[in-house]
């Protein structure tokens, strides 16, 4: 029996080794490169470059601004949608939900191409509204990431709680504000993280919609093209720290079950 | 009544936002038009013919699909073994692997791609043209999601079946392959499908690790939008429409299959 337990456990060795070699080691290398210069000597210059340059700091703020606006727009569109879908008693609810997330499986560059054509028709010259178009593009891309966790948390909500609240005299608005909304906070937090982080980095959406502003991802892209591994690593490190903080803060609240991309499958 | 109208009105509005671009592009892909919104120049299959005639595009599509399937298969095997192994491990090992697995999940794809590029291409000097960095990058990107879809199936599994198999004389290996693995198949399949779709959708890991002459759909489309070749642009409309139709067909088939299964159970 002990021998058999041992052999079953051993099955995880290849995967553990794989994760250490190709997930952890690359991150350690990033840390090393962020604090060294071209000659391999320890240096703070990449660090000070990032935090003293108005260019990179401006990029950081622009990224945050774009990401926060995108996240809020996604939330405003997705919450009522998820609420209606989860609370309604339509028979084929599952099929309807499918309709909302189905585009997720079409390559995002092709979807943005389609959106770009429509925006060109509506706006004439799309380079006139770079910020607006980037928000629309990212919302178009990331809406399902917001919708799914919200739907999951609203769907599994215990109906008797809502009935109890209205039996005890709460009107519909109070029931929503005091019961439904607080109970859906985990879904909101999950959805927000899943939109916030990609919208700080997915510079392809901006490129394709002719927004020449930089976001954090574009900095990595431009350092990559310039073979500047050290400054590129610094940007990656800054992103890692942001991701780490966001994960730490949200882990408390977020809905573990709804936290994965494509949890529909 | 007005409430109902409002509700359905909202859902319809959101669906319009989601589907108008895709559907308009689909309609225009069957015409001679070179821009959306203008005259159509009549019905034509020209874009579809171009898509299949053009060697570059054909090999790009084939390459994307082959990369996705091969990497997803390797990722799924690794993740399945990892999930089984960690499920039966001590709590410390289990939580360590779960945490490591979570890193690429929460990490931005661009950081994953860039860090793999630095380690493999810059430091270890692995030749990009061997496809090794690209393949490893896609496995790193997809395996953790496969792992996450297999793990719940292990938790739901009835452990007494495994014990029963051993009591009835099966060797541990036989019990694993004939009793444990079959119970995991739904999780493994959905993990594989998720891995395939993530790999197909990826842009960032691909850009930072691919050989310079190789393109996936994502990198090809981004390059094509920078260029101004109309024929390429409109052929991509056709590609987008074909993928849309494939996804719709897939979803319909899956729904029919699962509702049939549900009916059988009842």
pLDDT score recorded for residue A259: 47
Rg (CA), chain A: 22
Phi/psi at A89 (5° precision): -110, 40
CA distance B197 to B174: 32
Q: Does the residue A198 lie in any domain?
A: yes
Three-state secondary structure call for residue B23: helix
Walking along chain A (265 residues) 10 residues at a time, the average pLDDT comes out as 60 94 96 88 86 89 96 97 87 83 92 93 89 96 94 88 86 88 91 92 93 92 92 94 90 60 47
Per-residue pLDDT at B265: 65
Q: Quick one: pLDDT at residue A59?
A: 94
B88, B106, B147: residue with CB nearest A243: B106
What would you report as the CA-atom Rg of chain B, rounded to the nearest whole angstrom?
23
Positive or negative: CA dihedral B116, B122, B124, B129: positive
Q: Give exposure, A143-182, as e/b (b: 16+ Cβ within 10 Å).
A: bbbbbbbbbbbbeebeeeebeebeeeebeeeebbeebbee
Establish if A37 belongs to a structural domain: no
CA distance B235 to B54: 9
* Strand residues in A142-245 grouped as ranges (E): none
pLDDT at A93: 81
DSSP structural state of residue A88: -
Tens of pLDDT, residues B107-153: 999 999 999 999 999 999 999 999 999 999 999 999 999 999 999 99
Residues of chain A neighbouring B140 (CB-CB closer than 8 A):
22-23
Domains of chain B: 58-227 (1.10.3720.10)
Coil, helix or strand at residue B252: helix
Q: Residue A56 half-sphere exposure, CB side, CA atoms within 13 Å? A: 19
Looking at the complex, report in whole angstroms how far the Cα of residue B229 sits from the nearest Cα belonging to chain A. Answer: 14
Kindly list the distances between the CA atom of residue A248 and the CA atoms of A90, A193, A252, B167, in Å, as whole numbers in the listed order. 38, 11, 7, 45
In a domain, A215, yes or no: yes
What Cα–Cα distance (Å) separates residue A230 from each residue in A91, A102, A224, A235?
Answer: 56, 40, 10, 9
What residues of chain B, 90 to 149, have a C-beta less than 8 Å from chain A?
Answer: 90, 93, 96-97, 100-101, 103-112, 114-119, 122-123, 136, 139-140, 143, 145, 147-149
**Residue A54 CB: number of other CB atoms within 10 A?**
7
Check residue A264 and give its pLDDT. Answer: 45
Residue B187: how many CB atoms within 10 A of its CB? Answer: 24
Facing residues of B43 across strands?
A: B31
A224 in any annotated domain: yes
pLDDT digits (tens, 9 = 90+) for B219-232: 999 998 877 788 88
Burial category of B54 from C-beta neighbours within 10 Å (exposed 0-12, middle 13-18, buried 19 and up): middle
Q: Is A61 part of a structural domain of the chain?
A: yes
Q: What is the DSSP string of B186-221?
A: HHHHHHHHHHHHHHHH--HHHHHHS-TT---HHHHH
Domain count, chain A: 1
CB atoms closer than 10 angstroms to residue B239? 22
Q: Which residues of B touch A100 (CB under 8 A)?
A: 14-15, 18
Q: Which domain holds residue A219?
A: 56-258
B241 neighbourhood in chain A, CB within 8 Å: none
Q: What is the pTM of this model?
A: 0.90
Which residues of chain B have a pLDDT value below 50?
Answer: none
Q: How many CA atoms lie within 13 A of A147 on its CB side?
A: 29
Interacting residues of A10 by C-beta distance below 8 A, sequence separation 6+: B85
Tell me if B157 sits within 8 A of B184, measured CB to CB: yes
Q: Does A42 fall in a domain?
A: no
Nearest to B76 by CA among B202, B173, B175, B196: B196
Residue of B118, B132, B203 lying closest to A113 (CA atoms): B203
CATH number reported for the structural domain that contains residue A83 in this entry:
1.10.3720.10
Q: What is the pLDDT of residue A160?
A: 86
Which runs of consecutive H residues, i.e. helices, occur in B88-201?
91-106, 109-116, 132-156, 159-167, 172-175, 181-201
- Establish if A66 belongs to a structural domain: yes
**DSSP code, position B157:** S
Residue B89 touches chain A, beta carbons under 8 Å: yes
């Amino acid at each position: 029996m002990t021998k058999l337990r041992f052999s079953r456990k051993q099955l995880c060795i290849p995967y553990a080794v794989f994760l250490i070699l190709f997930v952890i080691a690359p991150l350690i290398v990033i840390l090393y490169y962020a604090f060294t210069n071209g000659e391999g000597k320890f240096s703070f210059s990449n660090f000070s470059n990032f935090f003293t340059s108005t260019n990179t700091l401006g990029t950081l703020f622009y990224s945050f601004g774009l990401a926060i606006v995108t996240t809020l727009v996604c939330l405003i569109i997705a919450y009522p949608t998820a609420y209606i879908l989860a609370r309604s008693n339509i028979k084929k609810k599952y099929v309807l939900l499918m309709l909302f997330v189905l585009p997720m499986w079409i390559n995002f560059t092709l979807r943005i191409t389609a959106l770009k054509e429509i925006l060109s028709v509506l706006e004439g010259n799309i380079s006139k509204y770079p910020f607006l178009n980037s928000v629309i593009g990212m919302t178009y891309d990331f809406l399902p990431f917001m919708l799914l966790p919200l739907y999951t948390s609203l769907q599994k909500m215990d109906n008797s709680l809502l009935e109890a609240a209205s039996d005890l005299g709460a009107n519909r608005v109070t029931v929503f504000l005091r019961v439904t909304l607080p109970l859906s906070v985990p879904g909101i937090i999950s959805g927000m993280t899943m939109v916030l982080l990609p919208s700080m980095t997915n510079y392809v959406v901006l490129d394709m919609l002719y927004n020449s502003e930089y976001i954090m991802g574009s900095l990595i892209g431009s350092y990559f093209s310039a073979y500047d591994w050290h400054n590129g690593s610094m940007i990656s490190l800054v992103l890692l720290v942001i991701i780490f903080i966001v994960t730490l803060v949200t882990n408390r609240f977020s809905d573990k079950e709804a936290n994965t991309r494509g949890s529909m499958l | 009544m007005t409430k109902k109208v409002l509700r359905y009105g909202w859902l319809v509005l959101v669906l319009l936002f989601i589907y108008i671009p895709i559907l308009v592009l689909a309609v225009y892909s069957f015409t001679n038009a070179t821009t959306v919104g203008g005259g159509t120049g009549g019905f034509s299959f020209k874009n579809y013919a171009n898509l299949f005639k053009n060697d570059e595009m054909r090999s790009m599509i084939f390459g994307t699909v082959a990369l996705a399937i091969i990497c997803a298969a390797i990722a799924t095997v690794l993740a399945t073994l990892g999930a089984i192994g960690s499920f039966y491990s001590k709590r410390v090992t289990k939580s360590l692997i779960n945490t490591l697995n979570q890193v690429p999940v929460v990490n931005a794809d661009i950081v994953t791609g860039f860090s793999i590029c630095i380690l493999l291409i810059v430091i270890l000097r692995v030749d990009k043209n061997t496809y090794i960095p690209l393949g490893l990058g896609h496995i790193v990107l997809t395996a953790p999601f496969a792992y996450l879809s297999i793990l719940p199936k292990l938790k739901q599994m009835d452990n007494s079946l495994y014990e029963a198999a051993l009591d009835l004389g099966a060797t541990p290996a036989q019990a694993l392959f004939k009793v444990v693995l079959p119970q995991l198949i739904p999780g493994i399949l959905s993990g594989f499908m998720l891995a395939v779709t993530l790999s197909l959708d990826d842009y960032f890991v691909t850009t930072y690790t691919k050989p310079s002459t190789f393109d996936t759909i994502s990198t090809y489309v981004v390059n094509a939008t920078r260029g101004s070749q109309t024929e390429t642009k409109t052929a991509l409309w056709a590609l987008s429409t074909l993928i849309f139709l494939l996804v719709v067909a897939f979803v319909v088939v899956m729904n029919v299959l699962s509702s049939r299964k549900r009916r059988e159970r009842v």
